[in-house]
Structure 1
Amino acid sequence: MEPFALLHRDGAPHVELLRGSLETVPTLADIPLPPGRGPQTLALIPYRQITERGFACVDDGTPLECLRVSSVTSVPLAEIIAGLPGELSVSEGAFDIDDETYAGIVGDVLREEIGHGEGANFVIHRVYEATVAGDPVDAARAAFRRLLTGEQGAYWTFLVHTGTRTLVGATPERHVSVDAGLVMMNPISGTYRHSDPRGLAEFLADRKEIEELHMVLDEELKMMATVAEHGGQVVGPYLKHMAHLTHTEYLLAGRGSLDVRDVLRETMFAPTVTGSPIENACRVIARHERRGRGYYAGVLALLGHDDEGRQTLDAPILIRTASISPAGELRVPVGATLVRHSTPADEVAETHAKAAGVLAALHGRAPSSFEPPVADEAALAALAARNEGLARFWLDERTPGNPSLGRTAVIVDGEDTFTAMLTHQLRALGLSVSVVPWSAPAVPPADLLILGPGPGDPASDSPKMVRLRGLAAAALEDGRPILGVCLGHQILASVLGLPLRRRDSPYQGLARDIDLFGATRRVGFYSSFTALASEDADGFEIAADPDGTVHALRGAGFAGVQFHPESVLSRDGLVVLGDLLPALLERVISPSVSG
């Protein structure tokens, strides 16, 4: 059978039928985008393409396949449903990783990774496996019909047949889109199972669910800070009702001019299916999953041009999706987001709930009547309260930054693209900013050196930590102005002689009020380690809790903050930076930083 795709977008009265020829390409840059109005290419992008960003991956060889669109037909929804088969026979299956083993992996990640500072959240997947009888494409068409009639609220409901593989699903989440120069992302996190005995208002007030959504919001703001010229503006939160689940979500929007294939590369892949910070999340996934992901967590990307010739992109995440091989082998991958408040039992239950919609369609169970939970006054108040204490810098419309001070800053990235968000804030404060990786052979000259955030144990002898300690020590010795953020702060504190320790409970995605040199500031933390106040500290001030855990320090020509002033969790982050910078910049000297 020739390649084709059926696409239904949320709320549309029709289904798009795409036909064309198939082409396999090695990289995102090779995705064909010929001139012409409308959709030109439908790209099936596997998770293994994450290696294009230099990130870790168990490479299973899944191909990047492109349907070069030759025709698009709009078919009324009712007509499509009437013409699709209703019969579908699927064997009873099971997860490739049983509940007990999966719960053990969850416990390992919570203890070994989040507990040891490797990141704030991670997504670990498992796969429901079964077999379908008869022709696999007919089985997929029947499943597509059942998803159209039985699921609700999906961003895309789709069936893609490439000739060698068939995917069918109902994904709730847009990853990234570009239309008329407007880039949009749609972080969705937090899962309310409709069978949950808790009311919706109680779910919306749950601290674990709130922090989970805010963490993926921060992670996608990092991506928007890279692909949108002035970063992203946050809109929401909203509720997304589906047949079995209700999710919470935000929308992010910003203007951009990158080629849409570059947008795809810079946003591989959503934190809701990987974790944060994303580079280390990929390492954690490879360590604990030990197998490839196929197309799970990748995207289905429709590329084209609008009537004015501008590039367009619509790319939902490949979740809630079944893949069917020519031999009838069925796979439904699902994952759970693990955060510091997670419990193994709850995350096991979440994977079952996420698979339920696709499995109900595959097994031919009668569609559940769609009764979304009532968002009463208490629920709406709890939803709105999620923005209380967030940074208005990211919620409000703002004018682009203007480097009016005539001063420069260079940020050394410790493998956390929070640096992209920090760049926008520093530009708003008048600085000209550049970013280099910690592994760069030399750090360019600048008026201010910033050691940025990143994962890992700051006391280790890893190449990254050795390099960062060397940069901090050289700056202090030469009197070069230096600011440390999170990991950079821990490194700076250790070079200044303060001891470091691992926190008893990780501060990952935690916002709180602190006393910062006599002023109360609300800031967001992503850390599992902290510096401790010492009586031997000489020549600098420390802001710390009564138990000695250090939140910030400052002295002649240097400062460090344990929290992330650039985070959406840091209501007062911009104020903190505005208070610290003048004292640092007044000590500017000319020699370059080379480390």
Structure 2
Amino acid sequence: MTGPDPSSLIHDLLTGSAPFALIARDDATVELLTGTVVDVELLADIPLVDADGLPREVLALVPFRQVRERGFVCHDDGAPLRCLVIDKRMPLPRAEVLASLPATPVALEGAGFDIGDEAYADIVRRVIADEIGRGEGANFVIRRDFVAGVDADPREAALTWFRALLEHEKGAYWTFAVVTPGHVAVGASPEAHVSARDGIVTMNPISGTFRHPQGGATAETLAEFLRSTKETEELFMVVDEELKMMSAVCSDGGRITGPHLKEMSRLTHTEYMLRGRSTLDPRDILRETMFAPTVTGSPMQNACTVIARYETTPRGYYSGVAALFTPNGATEGPTHDLDAPILIRTAYLVDGRLRVPVGATLVRHSDPYGEVGETHGKAAGVLGAIGAIPRDAAPAADPDADPDAPVAPRRPLAEDPAIAELLASRNDRLAPFWMNPQDPDGSGPFAGRTALVVDAEDRFTTMLAHQLRHLGLDARIVHWSEATPAEVDAADLVVAGPGPGDPRDDASDRISAMHHVVSRRLFRRAPLLAVCLSHQILADQLGIDLAPLAQPHQGLQKSVDVFGEDASIGFYNTFTARVAPGTTERGITFGSVTAVAEPTDAVSNLPAGDRDIPVDVAADPVTGDVYALRGERFSSVQGHLESILSRDGMRTLERLIAAAL
């Protein structure tokens, strides 16, 4: 008995009107999915069961506007959360599908970027100066669109482009075509955003883009790229951001492996893999991980605000995901596995208009024209593959080579010893905590005590809470807007968390609330650990000056002296507390501290001598920038001890908590 005839099936797709999806996830097979289309409002509404309660398979196109489910802002274009409820899945031989697909190039009219090169370079400058430079975040992804008119049947265009991507693009995680009423999406996404299978959640942060020179990449040209500080730190920052998500959905926080190379036809990327265990519904996993920092920025909430400020049009499905929910036969726990690539390197066709959105990750080191070039390279990866622009020429043949000799397959660049050594050396800088197996068991030096982590809108708090549990603390996270005085008073330890913005911004409700949390613990002499933004707030209340840095320390690793021990720590700050160079201690008096809350009666009634307490200061001996503070029942740190950049993070965190307790 033979299987379905791919040629006949492709003919039916071309001439029919039913929705379908074609997905290639390996080198041998193309999956044809057919069914009915249902548009829903929320991720929780994705119809994973039928009327009888039986599980069913669903392919969902999740637009960027779903970030509203997390309370984040966006330009809301009403793009539907579109679900293809699958009634039939047919695996087909890739070679036979390829031979059956149309191959005549699709003509484009009026092709070009909607934002010119100079205008985009100006956006890059403004984001670096006005957003990263004011402490609004570590990195942001701002997009522009390559657009053109298409006078062709949408189904034929979709299948033609799908064939071209199968034939000419390599290294994609998914190559796909999804055709539904009024909308076509065809792409070759290099990046799996999140997957969940048998209780194991995997995320795949990819960052750093090496555009192959004419004739192809070589180990020498790639090595120069891998030595770039900007590209290295860009990858570390997105790994940190995705570890925040992993710590929110996985009981064991997430373990990183890598780095690896993702080699494609025109581009090569660097990537890590993150894995952890979770029992959450896959729709909840998807919600908690919306969306990848590689296409938005960090911290996530503020990144969405910055995107809305600089992108004047909605994103549609760009930076969303294609999420395939497949029944796994489980009777307990999640009933579906999840496979969800990011919707990038994707061409959209709606009402005769082609749109290929592309973005660049803007960091403190970004060169405006370099980021312009990156958007050209990413657009070319799709446009070249589908034949919309000329494809790269093959490397020139060796004139002295024997023309009759068999051609050996090109060795992957990652197998070159020098490249492998460069990749491996990146891990020398990273925290071993996140590279080792993790499973907090409730033991640890602070077992039996509680910690309340106050989230100031940077989900580094999820990583902090995970580390606190490893130290034995029963840690719980509460948003700054929901932290009641009773909760703040009841915890054995309060961790006032990091967040974006200027610690001196009196008009910000969030900054004001964090001042209240810090001062309440400070005046009650209740154990407090203040991190980054909250460290600055604490310093302000202790009468220490605050100042903006000349150059933001976003994603910067430094070795600093923290009360007599050298520590390698990752910094994500634009502002700093600053003392006179050489200062190692200060004296403060509770009655004279500038604070949002008044001292408690118990404190204000103390004799004057009992209200005077010493404060130890760990600061840069040259600049006076304050790295840490400690005093009676409090300590603070400017850096992020939870970051993968904090190689000595756990040791330093334990020391500071011990001081506070």
Shorter-chain-normalised TM-score: which range?
Answer: over 0.9
CA distance in 2, matches of 1:56, 1:336: 20
Q: How many residue pairs were aligned?
A: 583
Quick one: which of 567, 586, 591 aligns to 1:537? Answer: 586
CA distance in 1, matches of 2:202, 2:126: 35
The 1:259/1:277 distance shift into structure 2, 3 A limit, reads same
CA contact (8 A) 2:635 2:657 kept: no
Show the counterpart of 1:426: 468
Show the counterpart of 1:590: none
Show the counterpart of 1:22: 37
Structure 1 alignment gaps of length 5 or more: 586-595
Answer with 512-521 or 236-245: which moved more. 512-521
The 1:372/1:44 distance shift into structure 2, 3 A limit, reads farther
Tell me by how many angstroms 1:374 deviates.
Answer: 3.6
CA distance in 1, matches of 2:278, 2:244: 14
Tell me by how many angstroms 1:12 deviates.
Answer: 3.4
CA contact (8 A) 1:500 1:532 kept: yes
1:530-560: CA deviations, max 9, x gaps? 0012569311111111210000011111101
Q: Which amino acid aligns with 1:358?
A: V
CA distance in 2, matches of 1:58, 1:340: 26
CA contact (8 A) 2:526 2:633 kept: yes
Whether 1:398 and 2:443 are equivalent positions in the alignment is no
Tell me by how many angstroms 1:583 deviates.
Answer: 2.6
Quick one: which of 630, 633, 642 aligns to 1:554? Answer: 630
Show the counterpart of 1:588: none
1:245-268: CA deviations, max 9, x gaps? 000000000010000000010000
CA contact (8 A) 2:48 2:56 kept: no
CA distance in 2, matches of 1:268, 1:239: 24
Structure 2 alignment gaps of length 5 or more: 1-16, 396-409, 588-613
Tell me by how many angstroms 1:373 deviates.
Answer: 7.1
The 1:74/1:520 distance shift into structure 2, 3 A limit, reads same
Q: Which amino acid aligns with 2:440?
A: P
Show the counterpart of 1:70: 87
> RMSD over aligned Cα, in angstroms?
1.7
Show the counterpart of 2:424: 384
Show the counterpart of 1:101: 119
Tell me by how many angstroms 1:133 deviates.
Answer: 2.1
Tell me by how many angstroms 1:449 deviates.
Answer: 1.1
The 1:82/1:212 distance shift into structure 2, 3 A limit, reads same
Percent identical: 53
Show the counterpart of 1:565: 641
- TM-score (norm: length of structure 2): 0.86
- TM-score (norm: length of structure 1): 0.95
1:169-227: CA deviations, max 9, x gaps? 10000000011111000000001111189711111111101000000000000000011
1:218-237 matches, cutoff 5 A: 218-237=240-259
CA distance in 1, matches of 2:531, 2:129: 24
CA contact (8 A) 1:181 1:256 kept: yes
CA distance in 1, matches of 2:412, 2:361: 23
The 1:299/1:372 distance shift into structure 2, 3 A limit, reads farther
Show the counterpart of 1:458: 503
Q: Which amino acid aligns with 2:362?
A: L
1:315-353: CA deviations, max 9, x gaps? 00000001001x321000000000110010000000000
Q: Which amino acid aligns with 1:160?
A: V
CA distance in 2, matches of 1:124, 1:254: 30
Show the counterpart of 1:579: 655
Quick one: which of 197, 203, 208 aligns to 1:179? Answer: 197
1:407-556 matches, cutoff 5 A: 407-440=449-482, 442-443=484-485, 444=487, 445-461=490-506, 462-534=508-580, 537-538=586-587, 539-546=614-621, 547-556=623-632
Tell me by how many angstroms 1:395 deviates.
Answer: 0.4
1:34-73 matches, cutoff 5 A: 34=49, 40-73=57-90
1:256-335 matches, cutoff 5 A: 256-308=278-330, 310-325=335-350, 327-335=351-359
CA distance in 2, matches of 1:581, 1:356: 51
The 1:372/1:271 distance shift into structure 2, 3 A limit, reads farther
The 1:39/1:302 distance shift into structure 2, 3 A limit, reads farther
Runs of 4+ in 1 over 6 A off after TM superposition: 35-39, 370-373
CA contact (8 A) 1:482 1:557 kept: yes
CA distance in 2, matches of 1:282, 1:288: 10
Quick one: which of 348, 358, 363 aligns to 2:372? Answer: 348
Q: Which amino acid aligns with 2:201?
A: V
Which protein has greater RCO, CA pairs closer than 8 Å, 6+ apart? 1
CA contact (8 A) 2:569 2:641 kept: yes
1:282-331: CA deviations, max 9, x gaps? 00000111221000000000002124454200000000001001x32100
Tell me by how many angstroms 1:89 deviates.
Answer: 1.9
Q: Which amino acid aligns with 2:658?
A: P
1:55-106: CA deviations, max 9, x gaps? 0111111111100000000110011111110012222501100100000000
Q: Which amino acid aligns with 1:42?
A: L
CA contact (8 A) 1:150 1:367 kept: no
Larger radius of gyration between Structure 1 and Structure 2:
2
CA contact (8 A) 2:321 2:340 kept: yes
